[in-house]
Amino acid sequence: MYTLGEFIIENRDSFSTHSIEALLRLFSSIKLASKAIHKEVNKAGLTKKIIGSSGITNIQGEKQKKLDDFAHRTFIESFKNRNIVCGIASEESKDYIIINNKKNKKEDLLKNQYIVLIDPLDGSSNIDVNVSIGTIFSVYLRKSTHQIDVTDFLQKGNHQILAGYIIYGSSTILVYSTGNGVHGFTLDPSVGTFYLSHYNLSFPKNKREQIYSINEGNYEKFPDGIKKFIKYCQKKKGNYSYTARYIGSLVGDFHRNLIQGGIYIYPKTAYHPKGKLRLLYECNPMAFLAEQAGGIASDGRRRILDIKPKKLHQRTPFVCGPIDIVSKLEEFMKNSV
């Protein structure tokens, strides 16, 4: 069984845009923080210190959960202590964070070429009811040559060099891609090590049953193209059929669809005309993974990874899954006003 570190070293020839040392240090931060969150999630039912609201409203205008804040602080500190990242943007923070550790020598700071964007805790509404939640991360090379600025973070998704997520459920699984396939590693909590469990993941093809994941409670607020696609999914097609499954956590729904086959849809609505999911922290990394797994991701009309971000907390409609299903949805959108 390969550990995550062993797998990276064994496949060093496929990592052309960054060094093995850099990848190992990045993953060292991610693993350390995710194991701390795993520990807290698994004892959430035993203590009120980690469940419930923190009493704070975040930049998104949403009530922050205690575990949201814990995950945010844990990942920030973990990246700060590895001398590899020069800037971090979190869904929980209004502005980006410049990493300037005074203990580092000036020449060392110039080596820190990586920008991290992160949703520390996706699906936080599920925390108190013991349903799957996750972390989503995305890594870019910095563009600036001197002081970090916002343009380092406002890069198109097709410039990502690493993207992935951690799902905290019946087991804790880290899934990532560096542009050479999608691989998953499951945490063995008895030894604190991530082992290769899902090699070269891809959306299943030619399945007789596919999943569509959408909050149908918002049906009346959906665009006509989305409504028509849902009706299309609900009609029987010989031996081929669709079934509805929705967890309410992007990580949870995406992971299930990646394993079992299906489309994830979070369209714009009358209440959220620009969409609700964040382009930088959620959609870009998941779109990167979807394409690496043989699928596609769009806003219903254009490729997610081609969208030029204009601000840190930009929102967008989001659809991802196997090419044939997403293309069918885009066809309905194109033919609707």
**Domain residue spans in the chain?**
4-198, 209-334
Strand ranges for the chain from DSSP E: 53-57, 63-65, 85-90, 97-98, 114-122, 133-141, 162-168, 172-177, 183-188, 193-198, 209-213, 241-244, 262-266, 277-278, 295-298, 315-316, 318-322
pTM: 0.92
Q: How confident is the model at residue 31 (pLDDT cuts 50, 70, 90)?
A: very high
Q: Report the distance separating Cα 112 and Cα 82, nearest Å.
A: 10
CATH of domain 4-198: 3.30.540.10
What's the one-letter identity of residue 313?
A: H
Top pLDDT among 12 and 239 is at: 12
CB-based contacts of 260, cutoff 8 Å, min separation 6? 204, 207, 211
Q: Between the CA atoms of 218, 223, 227 and 233, what dihedral angle is there, to the nearest 10 degrees?
A: -100
| pLDDT of residue 110 exceeding 60 | no
Length of the chain: 337
pLDDT tens-place string over residues 122-166: 987 787 788 899 999 999 999 988 789 999 999 999 999 999 999
Mean of pLDDT over the chain = 89
Q: Report the distance separating Cα 251 and Cα 261, nearest Å.
A: 14
Q: Report the distance separating Cα 325 and Cα 327, nearest Å.
A: 5
Look at residues 236, 244, 167, 212 and name the one whose alpha carbon lies nearest to residue 321.
212
What's the topology of domain 209-334?
Answer: D-Maltodextrin-Binding Protein; domain 2 (3.40.190)
Pairing of strands 209-213, 241-244: parallel
